[in-house]
Amino acid sequence: MPDDPPGQAGDTIATPSLSIGDLAMYELQKPFVEPMLRLCRLTNTALDVLFYDVGVLTVALLARGKMVDTALAAVASAPHALQSLDLSALTNPSGSVIVVDANAAPYVRPPFRAMDAFFDYANGPEGAGLHTLAITGVGSSAFGAAALAWNVSAALGEPVAAVVPGYGLADVVPQALGGWFGFEMYGPLQTATQNFLARFAPALALMGKELARTTPGHALAATGAPVFRHGSAASDDVHAILQHVPGITRLVGHSKGALAIENAVRSLPTDRTRTLSVLTFGCVITEELAHARYAQYLGWIDPLGALNSSGNEPEFRPFTHHSTNTFIPFSMPVAALIAGAIAKT
């Protein structure tokens, strides 16, 4: 008896299915996406020039024989006697922790690109004087992070660690939808985007998140790509540092960096939060920790910060706007405010 024709009874027709592995062929490849991310990172560096005290940092380092390279301006013509400090978005796109000391050489240490390396430093003899962690908002590039940390270090007279969370596709989406407005939505949008990429485009989810991959306790999707546990990469980084570096007792956040602090400290044990003090500038967070000490600053002419403070009231209301760049009139003078607070206490 002849075989049944294809499609007739007796044949078994396989039902096509689409797996996560099959979706890989539709992913944009790294060589096409990475230049776009680096361009976006350069844009963030430009924003940091507007919102952070980069002029003070640049002049102070120049007086100490160092020239800052951000790739926004060529430094090839700089005198050979000057050392170039690379804070360029082109070489710092993937996250790091930078230690800044305004009072002692080398002033800005080479970035720590893995958390365990930073933990070893911070918990060792070289990091004995390190008690403060600074988190920027808006651009959050290495340039802005170092500038904020410089202000804080100059006021405290001690080294300060700055978190540069890295920049990937999950950061592009919320910035494209709302820029730096709506800080309270930035974390959920970033988390949702990262979760989607981690499941369906793991290669893209990994880009710009190398530091996040080294953070202890970081969560992973089934594909092995990192996902965020505390709302954003910055929050995950801060949470891990507080867990593994008991010497860090002071947190300083500006703009959406303040919200990164708020998310990071929520699940810490009481014994750890009892030692913390939190200073925020340009965004007032909910003071959820009963044992922590808060000092929050919101300028009278800072509608952006007020919009994102969810009705929370600050302890201090200087007549300033959102920028901390002291070359701009009526900016938020972070160093002077911290120094004044220390003098009062």
More confidently predicted of 93 and 137: 137
Answer yes or no: are the C-beta atoms of 155 and 334 closer than 8 Å: yes
Closest CA to 318 of 277, 279, 282: 282
Containing structural domain, residue 150 = 28-344
Position 18 confidence tier, pLDDT thresholds 50, 70, 90: very low
Look-up of token digits 């600053």: 297
Look-up of token digits 């540069």: 164
Alpha-carbon gap, residue 174 to 177, rounded angstroms: 5
pTM of model > 0.85:
no
Provide the domain count of the chain: 1
The pLDDT, as a whole number, for residue 14 is 44
Task: Tell me, yes or no, whether 324 lies in a domain.
Answer: yes
Task: Tell me, yes or no, whether 246 lies in a domain.
Answer: yes
Task: Tell me, yes or no, whether 22 lies in a domain.
Answer: no
Task: Tell me, yes or no, whether 256 lies in a domain.
Answer: yes
The pLDDT, as a whole number, for residue 59 is 92
DSSP letter for 4, please: P
Q: How long is the chain? A: 345
Task: Tell me, yes or no, whether 20 lies in a domain.
Answer: no
Answer yes or no: are the C-beta atoms of 102 and 59 closer than 8 Å: no
Position 82 confidence tier, pLDDT thresholds 50, 70, 90: low
pLDDT digits (tens, 9 = 90+) for 198-237: 777 777 777 767 787 788 876 777 777 777 777 677 888 9
Task: Tell me, yes or no, whether 23 lies in a domain.
Answer: no
Res 161 pLDDT > 60: yes
Task: Tell me, yes or no, whether 163 lies in a domain.
Answer: yes
Give one DSSP letter per residue of 268-285, joined into a string.
Answer: S-HHHHTT-EEEEES-PP
Which stretch of 97-106, 171-180, 303-312, 317-326 has the lowest confidence by average pLDDT?
Answer: 171-180
